[in-house]
Chains A and B, each alone.
Chain A
Amino acid sequence: MKIIHQFLRLLKGKTIHNKETHKRRNDIISALEAIESREKVRIKVTIPYETAGRVKLFLEEKGILEGYGIPLLIQYGLASESEEELERLKNEMKSENGRKLWGEYAVTKFRAYECFMENKAMVMSLSIILNENKMLKRRLEMEELTKLIPKDEWDSWDKSVVDAYYQKYVFEGRH
């Protein structure tokens, strides 16, 4: 669920233009920075100019901001993968399946997002649809058309099930 949240948060980002909102944005950024650094440990070291230049260029080429890229490179540099494991990953990445995987990942991520948003819209009116379903089944019963009443998974759904759907898709599991 975290991946979807990160993805949604990114999409919800709005550009802020005027002075007032610019000030507010700075406040928000300061607050975010404070939260971000609260759980973090700060290190400050000097490194050779050449290494710093290479790191800067490396991150620029990949379009990664220093704020995100430096800790990521440190994390990757400290990764516990052995040389054998890295070699295995290299072969896997170069294989046909490995190359295809990037595309499959992008497509699946998009389809998951699309499906999530569609579910969200449907869940917003789930109570109404469910009540309508119950009402229609009652009317069929009254019309003595009981043979035409289907038995469904949602017949036993109560408020807690609807709430769970709401929590999952509308509140995105945050509450």
Chain B
Amino acid sequence: MFSRLVFGKKGEPVVLEAFLDKSTYEQFRDYVMKNCLSESDAIVKILERGMANYWLLEFKQMKANYMRIKKLFEEFKRDNDLLKAMQTENERLKNILEKADLKG
């Protein structure tokens, strides 16, 4: 059920089976219509472009992920500081009370 390449004899056309998101599939259909290509020819062109621009688009994706992770990290850090402050305060208050008990 996963996307795959099914090779037959050497040199013979290969079956490509792919499962695409609806939006990607619609883009694919548009591409086929717009460029008046067969699905096979279109896939070849698309795969070549995908390989050629792979690192550029990975870079773009990484940048977007980085911004999201950075924002998440800031949020986690704020929570972390707060939760640690609560624990530290408990220790401090316990010390105050211990000292007060000793005096009393």
Write the residues of chain A forming the contact surface with B, with a CB cutoff of 8 angstroms: 1, 3-4, 33-34, 36-37, 39-49, 51-52, 54-56, 58, 62, 65-79, 81, 86, 89-90, 92-93, 98, 101-102, 104-105, 108-109, 111-112, 115-116, 118-119, 122-123, 126, 129-130, 132-133, 136-137, 139-140, 143, 145, 148, 150, 152-154, 165, 168-169
**Chain B interface, DSSP helix/strand/loop, else mixed:** helix
Q: How far is the CA of A99 from the CA of B85 in the complex (A)?
A: 37
Q: Point out the residue from A71, A81, A145 that lies within 8 Å of B96, measured CB to CB.
A: A145
Q: Check A74 against B5 for contact (C-beta < 8 Å).
A: no
- Asked if B33 lies at the interface with its beta carbon under 8 angstroms from chain A, I say no
Question: Contact size class for B?
Answer: 35 or more
Q: Point out the residue from A43, A49, A101, A116 that lies within 8 Å of B76, measured CB to CB.
A: A116
Enumerate B28-75 residues with CB–CB distance to A below 8 Å: 28, 31, 39-40, 43-51, 53-57, 59-60, 62-63, 65-66, 68-70, 72-73
Q: Check B51 against A54 for contact (C-beta < 8 Å).
A: yes
Q: How far is the CA of A76 from the CA of B62 in the complex (A)?
A: 14
